[in-house]
Amino acid sequence: MNLVVDVGNTLVKMAVFENHEILFDQAVDAQYFLEKVKVLFAKYPNISQAIVSSVGQIGQKEAKILSLFCTVHELTHQSKLPFKNSYATPQSLGVDRIALAAAAFYKYPKSNVLIIDAGTCITYDIVNDYGEYLGGAISPGIQMRYNAMHQQTAKLPLLTPSETLDYIGNSTENCMHSGVLNGTAREVDGVIDQYNERFEHLTVILTGGDAQIFGKRVKNSIFAHSKILLEGLNYLLEYNKR
């Protein structure tokens, strides 16, 4: 059994895999990470390997304690990768994006795949049909856009996402919701259009915590896959065992 740990900017996601099948997954606050680890190993004592992908707040102390339970691989740009990485600055490539590229490579072999991860930031990552990771783009996420309007103006309120029925807002709050949600959806559609012009038979995957908020607003054909990053990490763990 494998334990996959994805440390994001707000939550720690954990999943237990056996033969590439997810037996358990959960997201917890970072402060409860070690407590949950102990519970997991009590429930799944056959976990022998773990992989940690961290862009957040889990530190060396937590990683060291996890290593007392099993062998731990920390994902970095120096980890072995099954695909060709053509990123100009591989040392700066986020480990979450590496995991998404691995998932695209394994789940959609010999295909052009664009993965859009709608999280704190919105990332776009492309793996071509030659099994080569080319890069992509990074854009502000939905809540980041709300925060910016509130923090960088004198009177605009701080909002959280809310469904809007019309793209023409009839109040300040509705205008802000329309600008963020409809604007983000049009951005995503525009990016997909660009990639469709360059890559034939493009497969588009949408994932991340905010995917459901605006996924239905995107006009292009997409596949929603909430756990593809976890699956990518498990693929990488298996690959680095060799």
CA distance 96 to 2: 18
Tokens of 98: 């590496």
Residues in the chain: 242
Instruction: Check if the beta carbon of residue 4 is closer than 8 Å to that of residue 15.
Output: yes
Residue type, 148: A
Cα angle: 186, vertex 190, 191; to 5 degrees: 120
Classify 81 in phi/psi space as left (phi over 0), alpha (psi -120 to 50) or beta: beta
Annotated catalytic residue within 25, 96, 125, 210 = 96
Residue identified by tokens 């709050």 is 173
Start-to-end CA distance of the chain, whole Å, equals 15
25 is catalytic: no
Catalogue the active-site residues. 96
